[in-house]
């Protein structure tokens, strides 16, 4: 085994953020690249041990020449979030839930980022007045049952700010659940310490965390430890995976990723088709490929390991896609094909 010499501050997450590596991007000027560049030394070390820049982890964070080309269907705001802004940092597309974007900073930057138009200084970070206005909006809308705190990565807020935000949300009686979306357990697992778990500890309202995990190699011992700590603090963990070409678009990688997530106490929730964000075409698979992979999961692996495959439409919400098991239907019966190919009639 290679001995890795790590600086003494390696396990200090603020040091990891201050010392972000900027791989590759020298010949890609800021105007040309659609995406922010930055990788924590922790994750960069992992990239080098898993196939380098063309490996499944490298492809996610190292800039490519191909980012310069913008495919016809691609858009800076592929989900059409901007027109759905109802208050500062608050996006509402569904009747009963809102997305609260609390920071524009991440612990490393993905080459397919849906919010690349927004992260890392392209917009004003949410100040305390703006956050107060967003919380007031939620208070004034009793039909809202679910707040998704995202960004950027909310776990990069200080413990004090996170704790205050969760206190404020917990005072809103009509909320049934609170969710946090994060990739910190993958990019900077040292951020998850006792003090953070204490700040996040669920109050009255149940707290869920959806962790963005794309490949089983991301689940190092440090990541597993971080996920175990969050679970032990009473937070229910879900997984969000983006289907990416050359990363997880083969059944062996995808299956292994789903099982390894479960082993960390993370229940796979969504498998997202890669959004058509500007400059990301080389990382996208076809929808047909996504459905083919789902067909190889459903029935063949534990149902707990099967996520929902979703396409996020521009301004029109998520569309779940599931392989088709209906062969025929008439007035008396349905005809289905089971996961293994057996065809059977079933009364209506
Ligand atoms: C994804 C998303 C949600 C949450 O959708 P669920 O299907 O409930 O997980 C809510 N608001 C916005 C704007 C979203 O993009």
- Over residues 224-263, the pLDDT tens digits come to 999 999 999 999 999 999 999 999 999 999 999 999 999 9
Ligand 1 neighbourhood includes 314 CB (under 6 angstroms): no
What's the 10 CA to ligand 1 centre distance in angstroms?
35
5-19, 172-186, 311-325 — which one is most confidently predicted on average? 172-186
Ligand 1 neighbourhood includes 135 CB (under 6 angstroms): no
Q: How confident is the model at residue 339 (pLDDT cuts 50, 70, 90)?
A: very high
Ligand 1 neighbourhood includes 156 CB (under 6 angstroms): no
What's the 164 CA to ligand 1 centre distance in angstroms?
23
Cβ(33)–Cβ(279) under 8 Å?
yes
In the chain, what percentage of residues exceed pLDDT 90? 83
Query: Measuring CA to CA, which residue among 147, 274, 259, 125 is closest to residue 210?
Result: 147
How much is the pLDDT for 76? 85
Ligand 1 neighbourhood includes 148 CB (under 6 angstroms): yes
Residue that the structure tokens 């929730």 belong to: 269
User: Cβ-count burial of 292 within 10 angstroms (0-12 exposed, 13-18 middle, 19+ buried)?
Assistant: middle
- Over residues 82-137, the pLDDT tens digits come to 889 999 999 999 999 999 999 999 999 999 999 888 777 656 667 889 999 999 99
Cβ(73)–Cβ(276) under 8 Å?
yes
- Does the pLDDT value for residue 277 go beyond 80? yes
Ligand 1 neighbourhood includes 91 CB (under 6 angstroms): yes
What's the 193 CA to ligand 1 centre distance in angstroms?
28
How much is the pLDDT for 78? 87
What's the 130 CA to ligand 1 centre distance in angstroms?
21
Tokens for 320?
């779940």
Ligand 1 neighbourhood includes 115 CB (under 6 angstroms): no
Ligand 1 neighbourhood includes 157 CB (under 6 angstroms): no
Bridge partners (DSSP) of residue 231 are none
Alpha carbon separation from 274 to 11, 132, 231 (Å, rounded): 32, 33, 28
User: Cβ-count burial of 288 within 10 angstroms (0-12 exposed, 13-18 middle, 19+ buried)?
Assistant: exposed
Nearest-atom number in ligand 1 for the CA of 92 is 13
- Over residues 177-219, the pLDDT tens digits come to 999 999 999 999 999 999 999 999 999 999 999 999 999 999 9
Q: Which residues contact 21 (CB under 8 A, 6 or more apart)?
A: 38, 39, 40, 41, 44
Mean model confidence pLDDT for the chain: 93
Instruction: Round to whole Å and give the CA distance between 16 and 20.
Output: 6
What's the 85 CA to ligand 1 centre distance in angstroms?
14
Q: What is the DSSP string of 168-235?
A: HHHT-TT--EEEEEE-HHHH-GGG--HHHHHHH---SS-EEEEEE---GGG--HHHHHHHHHHHHTT-
- Over residues 134-151, the pLDDT tens digits come to 999 999 999 999 999 998
How much is the pLDDT for 31? 52
Bridge partners (DSSP) of residue 273 are 243
Q: What is the CATH number of domain 13-295?
A: 3.20.20.70
């Amino acid at each position: 085994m290679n001995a890795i010499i790590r600086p003494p501050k390696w396990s200090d997450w603020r040091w990891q953020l201050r010392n972000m590596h900027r791989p590759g991007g020298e010949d890609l000027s800021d105007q040309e690249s659609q995406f922010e560049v930055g990788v924590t030394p922790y994750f960069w070390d992992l990239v080098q041990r898993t196939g380098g820049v063309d490996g499944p982890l490298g492809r996610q964070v190292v800039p490519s020449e191909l980012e310069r080309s913008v495919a016809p269907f691609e858009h800076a705001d592929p989900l059409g979030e901007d027109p759905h802004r109802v208050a500062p940092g608050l996006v509402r597309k569904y009747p009963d839930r809102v997305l609260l974007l609390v920071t524009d900073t991440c612990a490393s930057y993905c080459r397919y980022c849906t919010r690349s138009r927004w992260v890392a200084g392209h917009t004003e970070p949410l100040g305390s007045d703006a956050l107060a206005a967003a919380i007031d909006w939620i208070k004034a809308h009793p039909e809202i049952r679910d707040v998704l705190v995202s960004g950027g990565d909310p776990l990069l807020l200080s413990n004090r700010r996170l704790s205050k935000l969760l206190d404020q949300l917990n005072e809103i009686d009509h909320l049934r659940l609170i969710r946090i979306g994060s990739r910190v357990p993958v990019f900077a697992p040292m951020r998850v310490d006792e003090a953070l778990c204490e700040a996040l500890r669920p109050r009255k309202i149940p707290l869920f965390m959806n962790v963005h995990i794309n490949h089983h190699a991301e689940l190092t011992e440090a990541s597993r430890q971080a996920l175990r700590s969050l679970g032990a603090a009473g937070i229910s963990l879900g997984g969000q995976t983006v289907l990416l070409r050359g990363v997880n678009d083969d059944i062996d990688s995808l299956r292994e990723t789903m099982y390894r997530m479960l082993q960390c106490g993370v229940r796979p929730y969504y498998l997202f088709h890669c959004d058509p964000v500007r400059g990301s075409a080389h990382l996208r698979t076809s929808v047909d490929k996504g459905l083919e992979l789902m067909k190889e999961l459903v029935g063949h692996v534990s149902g707990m390991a099967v996520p929902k495959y979703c396409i996020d439409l521009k301004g029109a919400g998520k569309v779940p896609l599931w392989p088709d098991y209906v062969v025929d239907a008439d007035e008396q019966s349905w005809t289905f094909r089971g996961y293994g190919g057996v065809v059977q009639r079933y009364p209506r």
